[in-house]
Amino acid sequence: MAWADEATFSAFYGRTARALWAYVYRATRNAADADDIVQEAFYRIVTADLEALAEEDRRRYLFRVASNLMVDRWRRGAREGADRAAARPDASSRVIPHADPDIDMAATFAGLKPRERALLWLAYVEEHDHQAIAAALGVGRNSVKVLLSRARARLRDLLKARGMIGEPHG
């Protein structure tokens, strides 16, 4: 049994569910997928033997499970030729004059690849270190620095293309 009692699990769920859903939604850009993945991730940790793990380790394990579930979905979608992002209108291609900067940023973030969104979210919103990001995304720890650098560069290019930032002065 992974949890001492229902109250312990309920408290953990209350502390982590919202952050996990936000992470999954930002990576998938689909609320229904986020709901499904979060539900499945919590189901899997309920059945896992995590009693010996500290709270933060359980949280990281939960994010790793959710990341693996997202990767599985992306792979399945690619195999089936049903890329969900291609089927929806591309939010990053719409330019709204004088729009709210938060909305513009969200649309720009949506223009990133799912893995890039996941990397940036884990690093800068969840503030995970490279080891935790590597574990969550199933990549080598040494790859995280390079992948993050590429994701930041891609985000910077998208921001420049949308006129949200200028060239750096130097």
Give residue-wise pLDDT tens across range 102-126: 556 667 777 888 888 888 888 887 7
Q: Which residues contact 121 (CB under 8 A, 6 or more apart)?
A: 23, 26, 27
Dihedral class, residue 163 (left if φ above 0, else alpha if ψ from -120 to 50, else beta): left
What global pTM score does this model have?
A: 0.57
Q: Boundaries of CATH 1.10.10.10 in the chain?
A: 92-170
Q: Which one has a higher pLDDT value, 72 or 75?
A: 72
Average pLDDT over residues 125-149: 87
CATH code that applies to domain 92-170: 1.10.10.10
The predicted structure's pLDDT at residue 133: 86
Average pLDDT over residues 83-102: 47
Q: Which pLDDT belongs to residue 20?
A: 94
pLDDT value at residue 84: 45
User: In this model, does residue 96 exceed pLDDT 50?
Assistant: no
Cβ-contact 149, 141 below 8 angstroms: no
Percentage of the chain surpassing pLDDT 90?
25
Contact 70/40 with Cβ under 8 angstroms? no
> What mean pLDDT do residues 148-163 have?
87
Give the model's pLDDT for residue 102: 52
Q: Can you tell me the mean pLDDT for 40-60?
A: 86
